[in-house]
Structure 1
Amino acid sequence: MMSQPVVHIHNLNLKYQQKPVLQDLCWTINRNDNWLLCGESGTGKTTLAKAIAGMIPTLEGDIQLNFDLSSPLPAKVHYVANWYQFKDLEGASNFYYQQRYQSLATAITATVIAELTRFGNDQQLSFEALERLLTALGFAGLKNSALLQLSSGEHKKLQLVKALWSKPQLLILDQPYNGLDKLSRKNLNDLLTEISENGTQLIIIGNESELPAAINRFALLKDGRLQEISSPELPQQEVEEIIKPLPSFLQREILTDSAEHIIKMIDVNIRYGDKQVLKNINWEVKPGEKWLLQGHNGSGKSTLLSLISGDHPQAYANNFFLFGNKRGTGESIWEIKERIGLISPELHWYFDASATVWQSIASGFYDSSGLYCSPGSTKHAQVDELIQYFGLSAYKNTLMNELPLGKQRLTLLARTIVKKPAILILDEPCQGLDQQQTQHFNRLVDELCKDGSTLIYVGHFESQLPACIEKRILLEDGAVKSVEHLLQSI
């Protein structure tokens, strides 16, 4: 007698705001099948995953889960979300972006080890297995860090440690490689193959080609339906999106800064208690230069960028110059932010998701999360121009949390450039985007940087970078490992 499939989905339908997302979708997952679920951003992959995990209460159709009751593994689905949501010690989650760099504020969130202890006790897990996972994912040194202090890649690792530790019968991982460096991705794949050999079945959501050896089935979600495919390669789009002429107000040349350096750091050090995060950093960025900032998870990239963006209070205690002025000599944080455009996974996390696309872009004039005042007619017209330029006209009045991730990132890029900043800081801006969206995004960045803008770009994947990048700085354990000139094509 054949065993029942682990998951059997029949004629699943789901609408969002009257628009069909899943249409008569059918999917059978048999025992020993480990799937990659791929498809363009916004096609409903996350929705399908949450439906299987029982996180969407009202569905039309049938989802049957058949766990092996004789297995020692927990008879449950563990879903690892693309983004990690955590709460403070009082159960709230209304954090703001700069809060993660303030030493007093970190006392309101649990430490990594406290969170893992709580999780392990709740799930009745063996703490002997935990140490090996922490070491394999390069996370052991962060046990005493507050959750609020973690970078996006470190938060992803915390999610993964919990999932691997709990060893459910069905593990669904939504974009598990986001924010992970190359070594961490390799180690994760080895760990996933190991738990699959011990009985955990996998569904990985993403468009990756570097996958665990255990992945043996591939499915494409398109137009609300699922089709099995022979490889993880997405069908290539025949028509490449055309880059339109920049809006007129962005076509003005940025005035070359009179200072010789936009950024100059001399022996910069950042310390949290006994932990030194940045060690004797020396770095100079001249006006108009295009830099790639790289380093493994925890190497200090986020902290370095927070000094530049004005969000880190320890900037004043260091020999650090920005736009020719030494930090702490009278300039306000808002005068600094007026000249800097920033995208980062952390900024995206803390952004006001209840703002509309139009409000989100307009908030870039004021460096606020959400819009709290009414822009004048000139600014109003410029926001409208950007909405048309980025192809967001149909979403103008849509809330950010109702948009596919790709549209959210385009909205944040529009927000970043609306004030025509002198320096763009793009920290993993394509995290979670599919290949076509990433290529389109980076072509937009190349176009925007033709006017003399200075660029600092953070990206782990060498194949997913703008063509304009000309220099690279590499961090390792908080120190500068190398600085080099690059060929035009990386």
Structure 2
Amino acid sequence: MIVDIKNLSARYEAKNVLHNISLSIQPGENYVIRGESGSGKTTLGKVIAGLVKYTGELNIHLSPASALKPAVHFVESWYRFTNLEGDRNFYYQQRYNHQQKRDTVTIARELELYGKEHSLDIAALNELITTFSYAKVLDEQLFEISSGEHKKLQLIKALWLSPQLLIIDQPYTGLDVKARAHLNQVLNNYVEKGGTLTLISNDTELPDSINRAIFMKDGTLINSNTPLNLHEKELKPLPSFLLQRPQYTSHNIISMKNIRVRYDQKEVLSGVDWEVNAGERWLLQGHNGSGKSTLLSLITGDHPQAYANDIKLFGVQRGGGESIWDIKRRIGMISPEMHWYFDANATVLQSLASGFFDSNGLYRQLRYTQKQQLEELLQFLDLQDVKNELLSTQPLGKQRLALLGRTIIKNPQLLVLDEPCQGLDQQQTQYFNKLVDEISKNGVTIIYVGHFETQLPSSITHKLVLKNGKKVPGI
């Protein structure tokens, strides 16, 4: 027996999260833990890894005869990093400002330090870097890379460590189709070498080595090997303010000609042309590192090289005197990176309301009509009961739903939804995409970034695909 749990309970932020859990994991058993957001999946994984206090009994049995490291390693759902001074005082636009001082270590240095700390073999690292096509970002700073590249960094470090028990929370978050396939093969190889694997995921495309499934609901285990079947949630009637057509000032929303973005000798975007008109709903796709986030940052006004390119937004040439706030007030945006940098001290209510002002938290008084919209949206997203709790204490799925609410609260002319369903379970993803379809009926313009055709709104009308910073023709 590798893991033996008896009558285990746990609390988090004064809430009972796990209730009287009993579970054993035998050699050769590799689990996927499934369940709705907030069911306790992540907390259970952290308890097994020794990261959360508990009551009850937990015994981990590691083998001194194994070639793998006698350790339990937990991979977070996203990567938490600090700057060179050891704090996390970053801002969203800093990622695109390469004139800033080197504030965090490079990826190569991060891996070097990790290898020294754990006395790891460099040859094994080089093999993982090749497998995940990671060499191209080794000279980047931690805050400069995308969410998918951060996930790869977490996975590379964990697989390089090769612990006897590996627990990965949301292993596929931010990864494109190719990277997912590579990950599954590497995880199968890990198991063949004697590792025990536990994944916390509602995804269906799992490694062949996963041979057990458990399901969680409200902090308890439901032992069943039947397929995950989260009931489909019915969409409530839209808040009244989202039924109104956005007030467009121009038929042409985005005009980009021969867009080029370069950092030193590295060209991130090259010769990209793109026209988006009012009411169109675009899907933006491309592999990890293809330039999607950089392209979006030019639109949202977060990238300093926007002024060096031929870009018109809402019919106005960039650099024509408009401020970044003139642009942002017409745009609602959500992205995994924005979530990283959001105010950890904001409540759920404050997080939604900050969308009126495009701020990182709420620092102004709301008008009466804004309060009405806020209440409508809290009810619509089923967040009314947690509105006064800190956003950071909520399950990841509820955090993301709150920030999605922030995106739509001002009924903007343009919605930029950059992998909006990262961290959401299957039910929440279906619900949100139905919401996007419903909102699109009012004529809003949408740019939606998503890797998987099966997890997209049905209302998409156009498609742009990037590959190595260039527009793929004929799509």
Q: State the TM-score, normalizing by the size of structure 1.
A: 0.95
**Structure 1 SS opposite 2:472:** strand
Amino acid at match of 2:224: I
Alignment deviations for residues 188-222 of structure 1 (CA, whole Å, 9 cap, x no partner):
01011111111111001101211112111111112
1:460 correspondence with 2:459: no
CA contact (8 A) 2:11 2:54 kept: no
Matches within 5 A, 1:302-313: 302-313=293-304
**2:80 aligns with one of 85, 88, 105:** 85
Q: Percent identity at matched positions?
A: 52
Q: How far has the Cα of 1:483 moved from its partner? A: 5.3
1:128 correspondence with 2:120: no
Q: How far has the Cα of 1:413 moved from its partner? A: 1.6
Amino acid at match of 1:470: T
**2:47 aligns with one of 48, 51, 62:** 51
Matches within 5 A, 1:98-247: 98-105=93-100, 107-231=102-226, 233-237=227-231, 240-247=232-239
Aligned counterparts of 1:18 and 1:337: Cα–Cα separation in 2? 38
CA contact (8 A) 2:230 2:426 kept: no
**Residue equivalent to 1:273:** 264
Aligned counterparts of 1:41 and 1:258: Cα–Cα separation in 2? 40
CA contact (8 A) 1:321 1:327 kept: yes
Aligned counterparts of 2:358 and 2:405: Cα–Cα separation in 1? 13
CA contact (8 A) 1:257 1:287 kept: no
CA contact (8 A) 1:256 1:452 kept: no
**Structure 2 SS opposite 1:134:** helix
1:216/1:244 CA distance change after superposition, 3 Å: closer
**1:349 aligns with one of 340, 347, 359:** 340
Amino acid at match of 1:328: G
Aligned counterparts of 1:291 and 1:205: Cα–Cα separation in 2? 31
CA contact (8 A) 2:281 2:446 kept: yes
Q: How far has the Cα of 1:394 moved from its partner? A: 0.6
Q: How far has the Cα of 1:114 moved from its partner? A: 0.4
**Structure 2 SS opposite 1:443:** helix
Aligned counterparts of 2:14 and 2:122: Cα–Cα separation in 1? 47
**2:463 aligns with one of 472, 475, 482:** 472
Alignment deviations for residues 393-430 of structure 1 (CA, whole Å, 9 cap, x no partner):
11111110121222212211211111111000001111
Amino acid at match of 1:13: S
Which sits farther off after the overlay, 97-106 or 415-424?
97-106
**Residue equivalent to 2:401:** 410
1:329 correspondence with 2:329: no
Matches within 5 A, 1:286-297: 286-297=277-288
Alignment deviations for residues 55-86 of structure 1 (CA, whole Å, 9 cap, x no partner):
11x31111101100122321111110001000
Aligned counterparts of 2:32 and 2:73: Cα–Cα separation in 1? 16
Aligned counterparts of 2:19 and 2:235: Cα–Cα separation in 1? 33
Aligned counterparts of 1:407 and 1:208: Cα–Cα separation in 2? 18
Amino acid at match of 1:36: V
CA contact (8 A) 2:279 2:444 kept: yes
**1:10 aligns with one of 6, 13, 30:** 6
1:17/1:133 CA distance change after superposition, 3 Å: closer
**Residue equivalent to 1:487:** none
Which sits farther off after the overlay, 378-387 or 140-149?
378-387
Aligned counterparts of 1:122 and 1:156: Cα–Cα separation in 2? 20
Alignment deviations for residues 165-205 of structure 1 (CA, whole Å, 9 cap, x no partner):
11001000100101000110000010111111111110011
Aligned counterparts of 1:390 and 1:36: Cα–Cα separation in 2? 28
Which sits farther off after the overlay, 405-414 or 291-300?
405-414
1:35 correspondence with 2:31: yes
1:483/1:405 CA distance change after superposition, 3 Å: farther
Amino acid at match of 2:228: L
CA contact (8 A) 2:35 2:217 kept: yes
Aligned counterparts of 2:91 and 2:473: Cα–Cα separation in 1? 33
Q: How far has the Cα of 1:378 moved from its partner? A: 2.2
**Structure 2 SS opposite 1:294:** strand
Aligned counterparts of 2:222 and 2:369: Cα–Cα separation in 1? 48
Amino acid at match of 1:10: K
CA contact (8 A) 1:474 1:483 kept: no
**Residue equivalent to 1:488:** none
Aligned counterparts of 1:102 and 1:356: Cα–Cα separation in 2? 29
Q: How far has the Cα of 1:471 moved from its partner? A: 1.0
Alignment deviations for residues 330-367 of structure 1 (CA, whole Å, 9 cap, x no partner):
10000000000000000011111221111111111111
CA RMSD of aligned residues (A): 1.3
1:382/1:78 CA distance change after superposition, 3 Å: same
**2:243 aligns with one of 248, 251, 257:** 251
1:227/1:423 CA distance change after superposition, 3 Å: same
1:106/1:153 CA distance change after superposition, 3 Å: farther
CA contact (8 A) 2:400 2:423 kept: no
Q: How far has the Cα of 1:241 moved from its partner? A: 2.7
Aligned counterparts of 1:198 and 1:72: Cα–Cα separation in 2? 8
Aligned counterparts of 1:420 and 1:40: Cα–Cα separation in 2? 29
**Residue equivalent to 1:432:** 423
Q: How far has the Cα of 1:229 moved from its partner? A: 2.6
Aligned counterparts of 2:100 and 2:88: Cα–Cα separation in 1? 13
Which sits farther off after the overlay, 336-345 or 20-29?
20-29
Matches within 5 A, 1:392-403: 392-403=383-394
Alignment deviations for residues 304-325 of structure 1 (CA, whole Å, 9 cap, x no partner):
1111111001000001111111
Q: How far has the Cα of 1:18 moved from its partner? A: 5.2
**Structure 2 SS opposite 1:482:** coil
1:220/1:335 CA distance change after superposition, 3 Å: same
CA contact (8 A) 2:38 2:218 kept: no
**1:451 aligns with one of 442, 454, 459:** 442
Aligned counterparts of 1:427 and 1:180: Cα–Cα separation in 2? 13
Alignment deviations for residues 264-297 of structure 1 (CA, whole Å, 9 cap, x no partner):
1110000111110001101111111000000000
- Shift >4 Å, 4+ stretches: none
